[in-house]
Structure 1
Amino acid sequence: MLTLSGPVLSVLRTPGQPHEPRRPPSLVPSRERLLDERKTTMSSSPVLSARGSRLALLVVGLCWLAVLFDGLDMFIYGSVLPHLLETKTFGLTPDTAGDLGSYATFGMLVGALTAGTVADRTGRKNLMVGCVVLFSLASGVCAMAGSVEVFGLGRTLAGVGLGGLLPTAISMVCDYAPRGRGALVIGLLMTAHHAGGILSAYVAKWLVDPVGWRAAFWVCVLPLLFAPVLARLLPESLSFLLAKGRTDEARELATRHDVELPAATSGKQGAADRWNALKDLFRGGEWTQTLLYWLASFGGLLLVYGVATWLPTLMRAEGYALGSALSFVVVFNLGGIVGMLAAGRAADRFGAPRISAIWFALTAAGVFLLSVHMPMAVTMVVVFLTGVFLNSAQTMIYATVSIRSSAGNRATAVGWTSGMGRFGAVFGPWLGGQLLASNHGDRGFTAFALAGLSSMVFIGIAALRSAKGASRGAGREVVGAV
């Protein structure tokens, strides 16, 4: 007779039991815990979504207004430049006008290079307020300038504030962005920059002829009134508070708004100085990606600020009246707003590096077409489409860097990418001035188109080096964690 051992008997059906083996009892609590966690998540997520969304709207709204004033101050010089050249204000010539444009972008270089590390150490909120105050007061210096030297000093100081504000605002909104929507929120933020460009064209149209060019710069002083509002209402970055060891303050802010705290950064990250944060960009295999982003940013900002400074003047050289040339600025920036929204959604779905490369290729084609004299309606369409692709292509570089960076050194990574690109921003206005001074203004659009092609190559290589799907997945993980 076969004797059955205890383990064998345990799997046999006893009277009244279903005909199936018993599951190990250790697995039952695991299923219950999973169900409990799922219920807890489902019950708490609506609260976090509702109140967290209100906080995100507050942060994005305040940063949007700050960047609006940034764009107004940046584009105002290009909008009044045709008038300055016609009236020979300060004895301006095309080459000296190009130098003045480069002064502002050189200041932006200084601001961008220092802003990220300062923000990581002292807080993004304080830096944003300081930048708004600086470029507003600097515009007052330009409005009162009695010589080209004083005017150049004002533009340089304004550039420092402008260069510091943008990467800081990008880092701030990325901290509060909903999960998987980092690129879209950054694109939404950058629509403010182009709204400022549109505003600058209308300020020039309404004030320069009847009142004078100085009135346009006095308008750029008005953001000074916004600084106290920003200081009062803008919350500090939660990841910054945790990195600095201000855990109680971060917890109080998160509790007040019912938002989740980001994952706490390690003590090493919180205590790291600015050089350690910079070195992080070159550790392991990151140095290749970092250099590719810097080179792409160089060509992109050469293109952006070269076109922003010289578009009205180059279009006048093509035979268009001053009013039409300023209308091109409006259409160009309207395209920029559409492009930011479209590129942000596309980047969240397909990856920011890939979208940036495609956008740069289309930008180069559009900029080159502007060197061809076409009917007004066709030219307006080309200017609009060029604005769609040009501005958002560069912003998607920032989105890529921001999403791929950790919370501890995000501001440093974005700031240095923007800062290295500022060398191109310095070179672009100077290059346009030199081409106009040598009576080769028609080649300006060709030169800017070549810059767009170079950025397409660099960001394209960066995209190919990224593992398919990994950069998007990791990027959404980073955005969702902050």
Structure 2
Amino acid sequence: MSSSPALSSRGSRLALLVVALCWVAVLFDGLDMFIYGSVLPHMLEQKALGITSGQAGDLGSYATFGMLVGALAAGTVADRVGRRKLMLACVTLFSLASGLCAVADGVTVFGLGRTLAGVGLGGLLPTAISMVSDYAPRGRAALTIGLLMTAHHAGGILSAYVALWIVEPLGWRAAFWVCVLPLLFVPVLFKWLPESLSFLVAKGRTEEARELAGRFDVELPAATGRTSGAAWANLAHLFRGREWIQTLLYWLASFGGLLLVYGVATWLPTLMRSEGYELGSALTFVVLFNLGGIVGMLVAGRASDRFGAPRISAIWFALTAAGVFLLSVHMPLALTFVVVFLTGVFLNSAQTMIYATVSIGSSPAHRATAVGWTSGMGRFGAVFGPWLGGQLLAADQGDWGFTAFAIAGVSSMVFIGIAAVRTAKRPPAADGTGHKLVAAH
């Protein structure tokens, strides 16, 4: 079962330190992820690298394919070598890959850079989620994860302003040079980010865990049993008994959710420009969408800790589908701003509450694998979403892009809704920390 250390007043410093460091890392993750969509209208307008609308969708899918690889590998690697080392490696990788994009002399090199960046981006998110879950206060795991994910959308907002203030005077390459700056944060992570106490205990590194717990006056979490450490053994754990049904429901919901998230994130500015809005207005949509994401994370996290993450996720996906569909309808600008904001509120946090469900219900020894594979399988949708948007836009069917994304939201609502019903039928259970389990793996 999930285990979080009991936090004393001094122990709260450790929780704050871990969440703060992970928040900044995820901020850079969001900047790097959203920067392509923010600069894409400029690149298409200037015919940078000879990119066409169809190729632009392919390039967006390269990054999400890399995220698929990174997420699938990261969960297993983190459960074997530790969350801290993997976070350092991921930030380093996506920062250097952005530098490759900045110096690219053609579509091939640029695509390679986005793919490598995706590997780092995909590996960081599930690892950071697992890390903060370990240190979350009792009964506040979903809220803590929601707080962490506000950083991702703060990065999206930052990407819009980078595009607005830097791309016009200095060109699109300057935006990717900005995304190299997170390298300066790696030494800070190296010095201050501790390893997960639960990971250390699960791996039998009790002396190291005891020293860390003593330094911050934190209660050492109880051992939950050693695992073999084999990658496939951790994955097989997710399919024991009838848990394979719940696992597949989360994977399918994540597929539709990430198709929606990355399809909209990549194409929102371009689709809105195709509707006749100016570039400044199109980038304002990015800001509003991500501001909504920040609000949504905090609201959904609090609601999920009270009512259950699967239930909140299903409701949020239903509201997302309605909002995305409305974007295909021509409305006054002010009303469109409101719809984009509300869509951001529900869309981004709906997907994150899937991760919260899996993370809260997983044992420390298997948590990163469970979250990583849920994220990783969802990345197939993240690959498909940008490609689908590009094909529809190339065929001059931009309005159908919003409709297709809305259908994806409905499918995720159905799958996570079924998971919520299955969870509700289970007898209440508590882990050693007082969490009411939202799901079990």
* TM-score band w.r.t. shorter chain: over 0.9
Match of 1:27 in 2: none
Match of 1:76 in 2: 35
Match of 1:22 in 2: none
- Of structures 1 and 2, the larger Rg is shown by 1
Deviations 1:14-58 (A, max 9, x none): xxxxxxxxxxxxxxxxxxxxxxxxxxxxxxx8xx43111111000
Deviations 1:218-264 (A, max 9, x none): 00000000001001100000111112211011011111111111111
Higher relative contact order (CA 8 A, sep 6+): 2
Instruction: Name the SS of the counterpart of 1:208 in structure 2.
Output: helix
Give structure 2 stretches of 5+ with no counterpart: 1-5
Within the alignment, does 1:213 sit opposite 2:155 as a pair? no
Instruction: Give, in angstroms, the shift of residue 327 of structure 1.
Output: 0.5
Question: Which residue, 386, 394, 399 being the options, matches 1:437?
Answer: 394
User: Map of 1:84-163 to 2, 5 A cutoff?
Assistant: 84-163=43-122
Question: Which residue, 202, 215, 235 being the options, matches 1:256?
Answer: 215
The structure-2 alpha-carbon separation of the partners of 1:264 and 1:473, relative to structure 1 and needing over 3 Å to count, comes to closer
Instruction: Name the SS of the counterpart of 1:265 in structure 2.
Output: coil
Q: Which amino acid aligns with 1:282?
A: F
Quick one: distance in 1 between partners of 2:164 and 2:402?
A: 24
Whether the 8 Å contact between 2:430 and 2:436 is mirrored in structure 1 is no
User: Map of 1:31-430 to 2, 5 A cutoff?
Assistant: 48-267=7-226, 269=227, 271-430=228-387
Whether the 8 Å contact between 2:253 and 2:411 is mirrored in structure 1 is yes
Instruction: Name the SS of the counterpart of 1:71 in structure 2.
Output: helix
Instruction: Name the SS of the counterpart of 1:282 in structure 2.
Output: coil
Question: Which residue, 387, 403, 421 being the options, matches 1:446?
Answer: 403
Deviations 1:69-95 (A, max 9, x none): 000000000000001111111111111
Quick one: distance in 2 between partners of 1:117 and 1:471?
A: 29
Instruction: Give, in angstroms, the shift of residue 476 of structure 1.
Output: 6.1
Deviations 1:363-395 (A, max 9, x none): 000000000111111000000000000000000
Instruction: Give, in angstroms, the shift of residue 214 of structure 1.
Output: 0.4
Instruction: Give, in angstroms, the shift of residue 477 of structure 1.
Output: 3.7
Instruction: Give, in angstroms, the shift of residue 325 of structure 1.
Output: 0.0
Quick one: distance in 2 between partners of 1:153 and 1:431?
A: 20
The structure-2 alpha-carbon separation of the partners of 1:120 and 1:379, relative to structure 1 and needing over 3 Å to count, comes to same
Whether the 8 Å contact between 1:406 and 1:478 is mirrored in structure 2 is no
Whether the 8 Å contact between 2:296 and 2:346 is mirrored in structure 1 is yes
Instruction: Name the SS of the counterpart of 1:236 in structure 2.
Output: coil
Quick one: distance in 2 between partners of 1:370 and 1:142?
A: 31
Match of 2:3 in 1: none
Quick one: distance in 2 between partners of 1:405 and 1:49?
A: 24
Quick one: distance in 2 between partners of 1:325 and 1:140?
A: 26
Q: Which amino acid aligns with 2:239?
A: F
The structure-2 alpha-carbon separation of the partners of 1:474 and 1:445, relative to structure 1 and needing over 3 Å to count, comes to farther
Quick one: distance in 2 between partners of 1:274 and 1:479?
A: 28
Q: Which amino acid aligns with 2:266?
A: T
The structure-2 alpha-carbon separation of the partners of 1:259 and 1:476, relative to structure 1 and needing over 3 Å to count, comes to closer
Quick one: distance in 1 between partners of 2:435 and 2:87?
A: 23
Q: Which amino acid aligns with 2:420?
A: A
Instruction: Give, in angstroms, the shift of residue 474 of structure 1.
Output: 4.8
Instruction: Give, in angstroms, the shift of residue 470 of structure 1.
Output: 4.7
Quick one: distance in 2 between partners of 1:469 and 1:393?
A: 22
Match of 1:7 in 2: none
Whether the 8 Å contact between 1:117 and 1:274 is mirrored in structure 2 is yes
Deviations 1:87-135 (A, max 9, x none): 1111111110000000000000000000000001101000000000000
Structure 1 residue runs of 4+, over 4 Å off? 468-476
Whether the 8 Å contact between 1:79 and 1:326 is mirrored in structure 2 is yes
Q: Which amino acid aligns with 2:219?
A: E
Instruction: Give, in angstroms, the shift of residue 469 of structure 1.
Output: 7.7
Quick one: distance in 1 between partners of 2:85 and 2:369?
A: 16
Give structure 1 stretches of 5+ with no counterpart: 1-44
Q: Which amino acid aligns with 1:390?
A: L
Q: Which amino acid aligns with 2:52?
A: T
Deviations 1:157-205 (A, max 9, x none): 0000000000000000000001111000000000000000000000000
TM-score (norm 2): 0.96
Whether the 8 Å contact between 2:136 and 2:144 is mirrored in structure 1 is yes
Match of 1:32 in 2: none
Quick one: distance in 2 between partners of 1:172 and 1:261?
A: 15
Quick one: distance in 2 between partners of 1:396 and 1:303?
A: 15
The structure-2 alpha-carbon separation of the partners of 1:214 and 1:465, relative to structure 1 and needing over 3 Å to count, comes to same
TM-score (norm 1): 0.88
Whether the 8 Å contact between 1:128 and 1:165 is mirrored in structure 2 is yes
Quick one: distance in 1 between partners of 2:429 and 2:329?
A: 39
Q: Which amino acid aligns with 2:81?
A: T
Whether the 8 Å contact between 1:404 and 1:478 is mirrored in structure 2 is no
Quick one: distance in 2 between partners of 1:152 and 1:470?
A: 49
